[in-house]
Amino acid sequence: MIKLALAGNPNSGKTTLFNDLTGASQYVGNWPGVTVEKKEGRVKGDKDIHLVDLPGIYSLSPYTLEEVVSRNFLINEKPDAIINIVDATNLERNLYLTTQLVELGIPVIIALNMMDIIKKKGEIINTKKLEEQIGCKVVEISALKGEGTKNLITEAKKVSIEKKKIDIKHTFDVKVEGSLSEIKEIIKGKVKEDLLHWYSIKLYERDGKVLETITLSKEDKKSIETIIEKSENEFDDDSESIITNERYTYITSIIDSCFKKRNNTLMSTSDKIDKIVTNRILAIPIFAIVMYLVYYISISTVGTAGTDWVNDVLFGENGIPGVIGNFLASVGAAQWLQSLILDGIVGGVGAVLGFLPQMLVLFLCLAILEDCGYMARVAFIMDRIFRKFGLSGKSFIPMLIGTGCGVPGVMASRTIENERDRKITIMTTTFIPCSAKLPIIALIAGALFPGATWVGPSAYFLGIAAIVCSGIVLKKTRRFAGDPAPFVMELPAYHIPGAKSVLIHMWDRAKSFVKKAGTIIFLACALIWFLQSFGFENGSFGMVEMDNSLLKSIGSLIAPLFAPLGFGDWKAAVATVTGLIAKENVVGTFGILYGFAEVAEDGAEIWTNVAAAFTPLAAYAFLAFNLLSAPCFAAIGAMHREFGNGKWTLFAVIYQCLLAYCTGLSIYQIGMFVTGHGFTILTAVAFLVVIGFIYLLFKPYSEKYDLSGKEALLNA
Ligand code: GDP
Ligand code: MG
């Protein structure tokens, strides 16, 4: 059994290579930070080789969680060899990690990826020279085209069997090397022999996490500190920067001798597109138009055609419900069982699945935008805006992933180094409509605003507005004060999206949706059906009319809470609560309560019934509340894991619900006032809420918090 670790910069093609080698279909995204956890698999056709896909990292310093995960894995689990995947189009940045990997005492082989692009550009990399200068084998590959990957495995196998120690070719400045030797003298025997060099560098850099792992006496620590200080005085720089500079000097010398850039002053097509797409003035309008089109296509046109078909034909009178109904009647199934299956399961789950076509179209559009490279630009554009409001542009990547599902979205917050930015991101990521909220948007748009194309996009922009406003307001509190972390992101070259990766991506998201429909939504629908079918009538418990059901009693208890938002109807209240289990349940509950079952009787379908139960204003308030309020249990669970702390989770959930409530209230009450329904005490409350919020938005930042950012963090 041979264990190989795949390490490299974010977006260097690790996952593409992993999929190519293992035949897996892991998610490939054209932006950094997609693989946050390591993934394992076996190599196709060579089952003895075990491959681990590590999260992307720029260095082995412990600044981000991924760096820590990757470093611990490499040091503690000692793979037989590291395949260091290097993006050949970005040698300088990628080799920075390489210079650190070769210090770990594990055989390293370099997979020089994206060679297809290099060749297309007509550039030349002298791999033989590169090998000589770094001291390990270099194999040219193109993970995307599957070129050279077999050869890579053959060579990696060779290297790991030989267990050939790398003789590190780069040396630091003599003075630095001198200090390192002195440190080595002190720690000799206290660390593993083959890691001696690495430890000496880490201690020289004052890496706290590494220091924790070895036991040193007080005197030892003191002498090491003296060595470092002396060196820092010599270089007039801090020790960490000294090492970084040294590495870059070395890398520059490698690149000078191995890399022939083509001397062209012409801009590449990618650059030309970027000139327009990331233009200061045009960027936002272009983004708005693109997102508008995406939602327009998926919710208003193409997707709707599919959904109409599913609703009218597949789940229509002569479709599935009819067939199942006839079957149940013919086998003489009990009345309650017929009701459970038709009203509960088919009604509820069917209502949710009806939106699958719209979602497939949305996922397809998003997948194409991601894969071609546009979404990476969006993160870049958003950084400019977010930064103005004290948020990091890095927050946008979790949000992007959150358009599929909030759970991985929240998890993607791990790429953010700064603790405060990370926390704000965890709190706000789920404001973006995830795929499960899409059916709610589509239902409200279809039922109450037929023909209107603005509802879908408006939900998306409402989510972004909630995030930006939250960022502004929260950053003014003691807990979150401080500057956002810098955001460095490589913009990948545009490319025509690959059909395979787009489809995998679309299917990935759709799969979890369908799976949920079959499990959690199925159960919830059965429960809702039970509660709405049973209750007390004339003092005895049994099947009753909906008006006497347990569900109505429960719903009527909560309903008054939502009356100020315009949807004090118990059915809407129940739907909102079931949405906490999974957002798809909102529509599922509507399916049961406003009934597919009645389709056969009065010819009305669910949309008509929903339309009759809401005014457009109330419906939009309902939509806003459900979009912004606490996410489903799964996402709350993910938030809890990422916060690692119940107090924070509670704070976040309360904040989300409060914001959702205030938004719903303002939309409904002010809307009522504007449309001439008079001024009531609730109108006054709504105006106060809006004024209060505007005050919070424009209140100046408090200087004293900026200074105490660190302290605020400690208190948190
Ligand atoms: P990771 O973040 O390192 O896992 O990178 P991914 O595997 O997600 O790939 C990032 C992007 O680079 C994707 O859009 C890939 O399609 C693209 N990519 C990966 N390998 C190659 C390659 O060899 N050539 C080209 N042209 N693109 C590649
Ligand atoms: Mg990846």
Residue 600: pLDDT above 50? no
Q: According to the model, what pLDDT value does residue 603 have?
A: 42
Query: Which carries the bigger pLDDT value, residue 357 or residue 310?
Result: 357
> pLDDT tens digit string along 322-341?
788 888 888 888 878 888 88
% of the chain surpassing 70 pLDDT = 91
Q: What is the pLDDT of residues 652-693, one digit of tens each?
A: 999 999 999 999 999 999 999 999 888 899 999 999 999 999
How many angstroms separate the CA atoms of 610 and 347, rounded? 14
Task: Tell me the CA distances in angstroms from 504 to 360, 371, 434, 616, one per residue in order.
Answer: 12, 11, 18, 38
Residues 132-182 pLDDT 10s = 889 889 999 999 889 999 999 999 999 888 877 777 777 888 899 999 999
Residue 142's pLDDT is 94
Structure tokens at 211: 């220091």
What residues have their beta carbon closer than 5 A to ion ligand 2? 15, 34-35
Predicted TM-score (pTM) of the model is: 0.65
What ranges in 297-334 are assigned the alpha helix state H? 302-309, 320-330
- Mean pLDDT within 453-460: 89
Give me the residue label for tokens 């992307």.
56
Burial of 714 (0-12, 13-18, 19+ CB in 10 A): exposed
- Ligand 2 center to residue 42 CA distance, Å? 17
Band of the pLDDT at 75, cuts 50, 70, 90? confident
- Band (pLDDT 50/70/90 cuts) for residue 38 is low
Q: Which residues line ligand 1 (CB under 6 A)?
A: 8, 10-16, 28-30, 34-35, 56, 113-114, 116-117, 142-144, 371, 492, 495
Between residues 672 and 268, which one has the greater pLDDT?
A: 672
Q: What is the amino acid identity at position 177? A: E
Asked if 179 contacts 228 with a C-beta cutoff of 8 angstroms, the reply is yes
Give the C-alpha separation, 110 to 59, whole Å: 16
* Residue appearing with tokens 């004290």: 390
Q: Are 412 and 398 in contact, with CB atoms under 8 Å apart?
A: yes
Q: How far is CA 475 from CA 469, 478, 692, 703, in A?
A: 10, 8, 16, 12
Mutate to test the pocket of ligand 1, among 11, 17, 35, 147 (most ligand atoms within 8 A of CB): 11
On the question of pLDDT at 309 being above 80, the answer is no
Chain segment 213-236, per-residue pLDDT in tens: 888 888 999 999 999 999 999 988
Whether 284 contacts 381, CB under 8 Å: yes
CA neighbours closer than 13 Å in the CB half-sphere of residue 587: 29
User: What does each C-alpha distance from 688 to 180, 331, 366, 673 come to in angstroms?
Assistant: 64, 61, 39, 14
Please answer whether residues 514 and 359 qualify as being in contact, where contact means their C-beta atoms are separated by less than 8 angstroms. Answer: no
Q: State residue 599's pLDDT score.
A: 40
Least confident of 13-17, 474-478, 692-696: 474-478
What mean pLDDT comes out for the span 66-74?
82
d(CA 284, CA 121) in angstroms, rounded, equals 31
CA–centroid distance, residue 33 to ligand 2 (Å): 7
Among protein residues, the one with the nearest Cα to ligand 1's atom 28 is 144
Instruction: Specify which of 390-394, 482-486, 620-624, 638-642 reaches the highest per-range mean pLDDT.
Output: 620-624
| Residue 37 confidence (pLDDT) | 61
Using the predicted structure, report yes or no on whether residue 269 has a pLDDT greater than 70: yes
Q: For residue 627, list its beta bridge partners.
A: none
Q: What is the pLDDT of residues 270-282, one digit of tens each?
A: 788 888 888 888 8
Q: Which atom of ligand 1 is nearest to the CA of 32?
A: 2
Rounded CA gap, 605 and 52, in Å?
51
Q: Residue 89 in contact with residue 118, Cβ under 8 Å?
A: yes
Check whether 702 has a pLDDT greater than 80. Answer: no
Helices 127-134 and 91-101 sit at what angle, rounded to 10 degrees?
40
Residue 629: per-residue pLDDT: 93
Q: Yes or no: say if 529 and 339 are a contact pair by the CB < 8 Å rule.
A: yes
CB atoms within 10 A of CB 67: 20
- Residue 450: CB atoms within 10 Å: 9
Which helix (DSSP H) or strand (DSSP E) does residue 5 occupy? strand 2-8
User: Is 624's pLDDT higher than 90?
Assistant: yes
Give the pLDDT score at 27.
Answer: 56
Q: Mean pLDDT across the stretch 40-48? A: 83
